[in-house]
Amino acid sequence: MIYVGTAGFSYSDWRGVFYPEGMKSQDFLRFYSERFNCVELDFTYYRQPDPATMRAMARKVPAGFRFTVKAHKTLTHEIPDGEELNKEAETFRQGVLPLIESDKLGCLLFQFPWSYRPSPENLDYIVSLKDKVPYAEIVVEFRNSQWANRDVYDALEQAGLGFCCVDEPDLKGLFPRVALVTSRIGYVRFHGRNAAKWFKHQEAWERYDYLYSDEEMQWWVPKIREMAEKAEDTYVLYNNCHRGQAAINARRMQELLNLLT
């Protein structure tokens, strides 16, 4: 199954581009779920997910819709020691439990920062995620190109962890475009190719201010289809969210993959 959607859905600047002008924000998710079959929740990186919020979101979408959830920063960026880590992991589990119970959790995305570089200790931590989070499928995203090697991919596969393919600017040190499946989950994140603003920006959204062309997306079409043949479920998510560009590109990718009826 191929799922196509965006990273987040609740953006006021999507009104008039994707959402109708005047639509109330509480109606966004229901409208969104009529057009896409998945969404990636990124707010869970900044604050631990609240069970009541997750339960309410699950009720707004139809059966078959899937949420992918970004791991909280204490599990990827600000990793504490010992019992504190276990506490954060348990809080996160409780938060996503309503999605599991409603059969609407696709997978969990563990995105590690560019500063997180290969070392035996860091790889051991990544491999240990399957034991720390045994209740859901896990996908790992690397930002630093030093992780781009066969040994790392093999370690993910042996641990039963998914690999997040990324499309981002062709800049030194950033992860290259690789189409790969290492678990039952295939995953592709489109961040945009705004090279000028990737490292030099005043606001975070500037990095992702980018609209993909058909030519740029066509490169991925056969690769996504190949990934879907290997994986049970393949997620294609757009993170270029400024001014509704993610929704525009995601809708077009649905067309390029012949997913619209």
Q: The domain at 2-256 falls in which architecture?
A: Alpha-Beta Barrel (3.20)
pLDDT at 122: 96
CA distances from 76 to 6, 35, 109, 148, 156 (A): 21, 31, 10, 18, 16
Contact 18, 248 (CB under 8 A): yes
Q: What is the pTM assigned to this prediction?
A: 0.95
Collapsed DSSP state (helix, strand, coil) of residue 183: coil
DSSP state of 259: -
pLDDT at 205: 77
For the stretch 117-131, pLDDT in tens is 999 999 999 999 999
pLDDT at 198: 84
pLDDT at 201: 80
Mean pLDDT per 10-residue segment, the chain (261 residues): 97 95 96 98 96 97 97 96 93 97 98 95 95 94 96 97 96 94 98 87 84 97 98 98 95 95 69
CA distance 248 to 17: 8
